[in-house]
Amino acid sequence: MPPTLTSPLSASAAATPHATTTHLSIDGVTKRFGSFTALDNIALEIQEGEFVCFLGPSGCGKTTLLRMIAGLTRQSAGTLIQRGKDISTLPPQARDFGIVFQSYALFPNLTVFDNVAYGLRNRRVARADIHARVAELLALVDLSGSEAKYPAALSGGQQQRVALARALAMEPGLLLLDEPLSALDARVRGHLRSQIKALQARLGVTTIMVTHDQEEALTMADRIVVMNHGVIEQVGTPAEIYHQPASAFVASFIGTMNFLDVTAAANHQVQLGNTVCDCLPHTFAKGRPAQLAIRPEAVALTRQPGALVGEVTGIEFLGAFQRVSLRIAGTEQRVLADVPSRDSAMLSLKLGQVVGLHLPGDAARLYPAGSCQS
């Protein structure tokens, strides 16, 4: 008798995610290509029901790590444990995952229905169950009525939703998304990422997404794994990654960041030019060169010059705020300040204007000198 499938919704309800239950454990994973180390001793735990993003620049190792989880690339060292089962040496077909690629990878000669049903038929699922599952999944991705269409008749966003439905058809324990939105235009990308996040939350399926787009990671992920040069720089919630970057690389890669050359003073102060500024507590020796990092939205401008003074060298209108470029008096250093539109109107900002600068200490973090080019 052909196997039957439960509803993906009822299945997820039966396996409600718990934050303390580990779905995937990655321990000591290393990948070498000859003398080049693409991944170096990666250790990471992903919890049941989490949406995790691997984020980093091209060549950082994020796609290689995803391919190792899928079994498409074999690690040189280390283990991968999924729900207590060692999958380190299993072939892809023996692992419990569904995958969506950047290129969609739909069969062009098959209809939408047949693309979604492909894996179910290979598993010899009963015909009635296939029809019910495909109908349910197409409804989930808002493509009901498109069963008879071919991929060429669909937009890029629709094709990616078909690929997502196909990946979910086999009720995978783990959903892998390899840059799924990068080939789409900005408007479609923004709409589809909210759909994917809502669908993932509804089904409760553990999901790993690879992206180089920080906005995608910040808006979609429960946790972000920031990678660079084959190592993990930081793992944390979007808020932790943005507000408490563990390294100068993370600070520069996520959002916009000012980096100012300073020397350490007291354990919560630095010397910037002739001015002593507060910062978050640090352990740098007094007089040691360092870099002070602060977000543009944290920089405050005042009409009356204070201890720290800046000359306006550029104004960029960005809708809800203006991004103001300033040269810090007494130095050749420059800083960006994001000023809300109502505040900029009160300041009557113009090129050449001299204004007071305030760098709140609780938003200023110290890194070693030379960590990042300002």
Whether 303 shows a pLDDT value over 70: the answer reads yes
| CATH classification (class only), 256-298+360-374 | mainly beta
DSSP 67-122: HHHHTSS--SEEEEEETTEE-TT--GGGS-EEEE-TT----TTS-HHHHHHHHHHH
Percent of the chain with pLDDT over 70: 94
Q: At what angle do helices 112-122 and 156-168 cross, to 10 degrees?
A: 20
Sheet hosting strand 258-264, strand order edge to edge: 275-278, 269-272, 258-264, 289-294, 365-368
Lowest mean pLDDT among 22-36, 130-144, 154-168, 187-201: 187-201
Please state, in angstroms and rounded to a whole number, the distance separating the CA atoms of residues 82 and 174: 9
pLDDT in tens, 233-251: 999 999 999 999 999 999 9
Residue 184, token pair as written in the block: 């789409």
Specify the pLDDT at position 77.
97
Domain extent listing, the chain: 8-248, 256-298+360-374, 310-358
Q: Is residue 305 very low, low, confident or very high in pLDDT (cuts 50, 70, 90)?
A: confident
Amino acid residing at 225: V
List of residues 6+ apart from 48 with CB closer than 8 A? 15, 17, 18, 19, 21, 22, 23, 206
Reported as a single tens digit per residue, the pLDDT across 100-120 is: 988 878 999 999 999 999 999
Q: Identify any residues that bridge with 312 across adjacent strands, giving them in sequence order.
A: 326
Which of the pair, 338 or 342, is modelled with greater confidence? 338
CATH class, range 8-248 = alpha beta
Q: Which long-range contacts (CB under 8 A, 24 or more apart) does 113-122 make?
A: 113/147, 113/148, 115/151, 115/162, 115/166, 116/162, 116/165, 116/166, 116/169, 117/169, 118/166, 119/166, 119/169, 119/170, 120/5, 120/169, 120/170
How high is the mean pLDDT of the chain? 91
Each residue's pLDDT tens digit, 306-323: 889 999 999 999 989 999
Indicate the pLDDT class of residue 35, thresholds 50, 70 and 90.
very high
Instruction: Calculate the alpha carbon distances from 158 to 123, 147, 188, 193 in Å.
Output: 25, 12, 10, 13
310-358: which CATH number, 1.10.12, 2.40.50, 1.10.3470, 3.30.70?
Answer: 2.40.50
| Gap between the Cα atoms of 147 and 31, Å rounded | 41
| Residues of the chain above pLDDT 90, percent | 78
pLDDT at 329 over 80: yes
Domains 8-248 and 310-358 share a fold: no
CB of 353 within 8 A of CB of 333?
Answer: no
> What's the predicted TM-score (pTM) here?
0.89
- The pLDDT value recorded for residue 374 is 47
pLDDT of residue 372: 74
